[in-house]
Amino acid sequence: MSDTPMIDQLETGPWPSFIKDIKRMAAKNAMCKDLLGLLEMSYKDKKTHWKHGGIVGVRGYGGGIIGRYSDSPEKFPNVSHFHTVRVNQPSAWFYNTGALRYLCDLWEKHGSGLTNLHGSTGDFIMLGTTTDHLEDIFTDLSEHGWDLGGSGSDVRTPSCCNGMARCEFACYDTMNLCYDLTNEYQDELHRPAFPYKFKFKMSGCPNDCVASIARSDCSIIGTWRDDIQQDNAAITEYAKGGKVDIANDVVAKCPTGCMSWDGSKLSIDNKNCNRCMHCINVMPKALRPGKDKGAMILLGAKAPIVQGALLSSVLVPFIKMEPPYEEFKDLIRRIWEFWDEHGENRERIGEMIVRIGKGNFVEEVGLEPTPAMIKEPRSNPYIFYEEYFDEE
């Protein structure tokens, strides 16, 4: 009989199983063998046998390594330590095979060989090593041009969609901005000094393929401020082709009702378009984002930890997003300064904004309030205008 009957069942489902991967590695790595045993014990006991963390790292950096210890080192000595190493991924996760081979070889040499591509912050995650290997791993990575990612109360590894590298909808160069911010904020990334974590995520268009609006304290989402580019000949082609029912599949699904179709001509009231991208996604050959492109800045998303989950809300409706990004960086400096001074310990910036009120926050970071600073399209303006009350 198998030593791990309970976790064996996980291999029988319809999905690829992580147990199968661990078993494969267990044939040549003692850590993985003990990992299976520890996991089986967790399923049997109905509780985790990982302790809740650990204080480990490499000198010069305050983050990048997540300590993990088991509570059963006597039974499973090879996973008494099972630390995670976060490696700063390249912008938009473009690797060549040589880079991937190097990372995997390094990890088989110093760790369990198990990886997780990619962590929710975006890093290349290496699972399972011991404290005595950490400095060697860090040195090796550095010598090969790699760096650790963020963890703890720092700027987390910025991440982005593949933007202009592959996507015709990209309204700014996400990969360039991601690379620029990663270099600009090295100190903030590696030397935690904030009230809590701060994540940047960059999407080139409102499709938001990296889900920045849900997963980052600062979402930078590409947009445009002129009219959708419209190719009427291509629209006619879509209509004739029969694959797209423009009236039902496009116009009827426009969330703001800003489009009309008379059977031969598509009209868009661009002032009422909220950049949902639906029409562009359905007819990409006929419709494109406008020519005056940039990004909107949203703040405040987070998963539920200290308080409940939040989505980002609009802070800057439109900003030109071109190197060297000085206007954006100046805004970030003011935001950090205020959060750093007034944020409570372990308070994400979105939680602070909820606590103090968006109107106060906007004023403190030196922005003029506008009706476009919204929580979601066409609802919930945060700011009550004094003029409004004066008229009352």
Partner 1 sequence: MDRETLSELLLARKYQEAMDLVKKRHGNLRILLGLLYSEEELLRWRAVTLLGLVAAEGSTDLAPAVRRLLWFLNEESSTVGWCSAQAIAEIYRNNPGMARDAIRAVLHLSDDEEVSLPANRNTPILAGSVWAIGALAEDEPALVSEMGPALVKFLEDPEPVIRGFSAWALGRMRFAAAKEGLGKLTGDEAVISLYEGDALTNISVARAAGDALEKIRKNDE
285 is a contact residue toward partner 1 (CB under 8 A): no
Residue (of 125, 93, 90, 100) closest to 111 by Cα position: 125
Report which secondary-structure segment, H or E, holds 72: none
Q: Which is nearer to partner 1, 291 or 333 (CB)?
A: 333
- The distance of closest approach from Cβ of residue 336 to partner 1 in the complex, given in angstroms and rounded to an integer, is 7
Residue selected from 269, 340, 363, 376 as contacting partner 1 according to rule CB under 8 A: 340
151 is a contact residue toward partner 1 (CB under 8 A): yes
57 is a contact residue toward partner 1 (CB under 8 A): yes
Q: How far apart are CA 30 and CA 76, in angstroms?
A: 10
Q: Which is nearer to partner 1, 62 or 317 (CB)?
A: 62
Q: How far apart are CA 41 and CA 250, in angstroms?
A: 53
336 is a contact residue toward partner 1 (CB under 8 A): yes
169 is a contact residue toward partner 1 (CB under 8 A): no
Read off the amino acid at residue 124: F
- The distance of closest approach from Cβ of residue 59 to partner 1 in the complex, given in angstroms and rounded to an integer, is 6
56 is a contact residue toward partner 1 (CB under 8 A): yes
Q: Which is nearer to partner 1, 69 or 107 (CB)?
A: 69
Q: How far apart are CA 238 and CA 177, in angstroms?
A: 35
69 is a contact residue toward partner 1 (CB under 8 A): yes
90 is a contact residue toward partner 1 (CB under 8 A): no
Residue (of 221, 228, 225, 215) closest to 172 by Cα position: 221
Q: Which is nearer to partner 1, 23 or 197 (CB)?
A: 197
366 is a contact residue toward partner 1 (CB under 8 A): no
294 is a contact residue toward partner 1 (CB under 8 A): no
Burial category of 81 from C-beta neighbours within 10 Å (exposed 0-12, middle 13-18, buried 19 and up) = buried
Interacting span for partner 1 (CB under 8 A) from 45-53, 164-172, 244-252, 268-276: 45-53
**CB 244: neighbour CB atoms within 10 A?**
16
SS3 108: helix
Q: How far apart are CA 171 and CA 156, in angstroms?
A: 24
46 is a contact residue toward partner 1 (CB under 8 A): no
Residue 120, both tokens: 């929710």
Residue selected from 44, 101, 253, 346 as contacting partner 1 according to rule CB under 8 A: 346
**Hey, which residues between 192 and 231 contact partner 1 (CB under 8 A)?**
192-195
Q: Which is nearer to partner 1, 152 or 381 (CB)?
A: 152
Residue (of 334, 318, 358) closest to 221 by Cα position: 318
53 is a contact residue toward partner 1 (CB under 8 A): yes
345 is a contact residue toward partner 1 (CB under 8 A): yes
- The distance of closest approach from Cβ of residue 125 to partner 1 in the complex, given in angstroms and rounded to an integer, is 13
- Residues contacting residue 155 through CB under 8 Å, at least 6 positions apart: 185, 188, 189, 194, 198, 199, 200
Q: How far apart are CA 146 and CA 103, in angstroms?
A: 9
- The distance of closest approach from Cβ of residue 344 to partner 1 in the complex, given in angstroms and rounded to an integer, is 8
- The distance of closest approach from Cβ of residue 6 to partner 1 in the complex, given in angstroms and rounded to an integer, is 27
Q: How far apart are CA 308 and CA 313, in angstroms?
A: 15
Q: Which is nearer to partner 1, 172 or 336 (CB)?
A: 336
SS3 318: strand
Q: Is 45 left (phi over 0), alpha (psi -120 to 50) or beta?
A: alpha
Residue selected from 52, 145, 323, 387 as contacting partner 1 according to rule CB under 8 A: 52
168 is a contact residue toward partner 1 (CB under 8 A): no
356 is a contact residue toward partner 1 (CB under 8 A): no
Q: Contact at 8 Å (CB) between 172 and 221?
A: no
- The distance of closest approach from Cβ of residue 382 to partner 1 in the complex, given in angstroms and rounded to an integer, is 25
Residue 104, both tokens: 């995997």
- The distance of closest approach from Cβ of residue 212 to partner 1 in the complex, given in angstroms and rounded to an integer, is 21
SS3 95: coil
Residues making contact with partner 1 (CB under 8 A): 51-57, 59-63, 65-67, 69, 73, 80-81, 131, 151-154, 187-188, 190-195, 333, 336-337, 340-341, 344-346
